[in-house]
Amino acid sequence: MAAGNEMRVGDAEREAAAAELREHYASGRLTLDELNERVDKAFAATTRGDLNALMTDLPSARPGWSSAGPSGPSGSSALPPGAPGAGGPFGPGGSGWNSGPRAAGPMRTAGSVLVTMLVVAALFLVGTLGAFG
């Protein structure tokens, strides 16, 4: 049985990772090229480790996940084994997608939908300008 970063991921985890990357783009942390590259890698990911690698240099609103990633600067885990967040947002610690209560409830969902719509509109605009000059 696979454990930790070797655990295979499904479409829901890939979609969640892509949504978080879009939020980082909307916040100005990623360029459009970086977003496209990371989203492509997210949809090609097969393991939790693949998804965690896309987020290591980005801050996360997920509990227990620091901007340094699942391990601190020294390379050792900043959290005890089994603590929420141990292993990153897709790790075995239980702080990943769809675990635990949402901090902002329905407003978080509405905000995510709005950000996603803005990103899609911006990508459409860029694509249209690229195609038609």
Q: pLDDT tens digits, residue range 52-93?
A: 999 999 987 654 333 334 443 333 334 334 444 444 555 544
Neighbour-count burial for 88-99, b at 16+ CB within 10 Å, e otherwise: bbbbbbebbbee
Confidence (pLDDT) at 45: 95
**Cβ pair 121, 129 in contact under 8 A:** no
**Cβ pair 47, 5 in contact under 8 A:** yes
Q: Classify 47 as helix, strand or coil.
A: strand
Q: Which helix (H) or strand (E) holds 24?
A: helix 11-26
Is 13 a residue whose pLDDT tops 70?
yes
At residue 52, φ and ψ (nearest 5 deg) are -60, -35
Confidence (pLDDT) at 76: 38
Confidence (pLDDT) at 65: 39
The pair of three-digit structure tokens given for residue 100, joined into one six-digit string: 């635990």
Q: Sketch the domain layout of the chain as residue ranges.
A: 4-103
Confidence (pLDDT) at 29: 94
End-to-end CA distance of the chain: 53
Residue in the structure block whose two tokens are 């292993």: 87
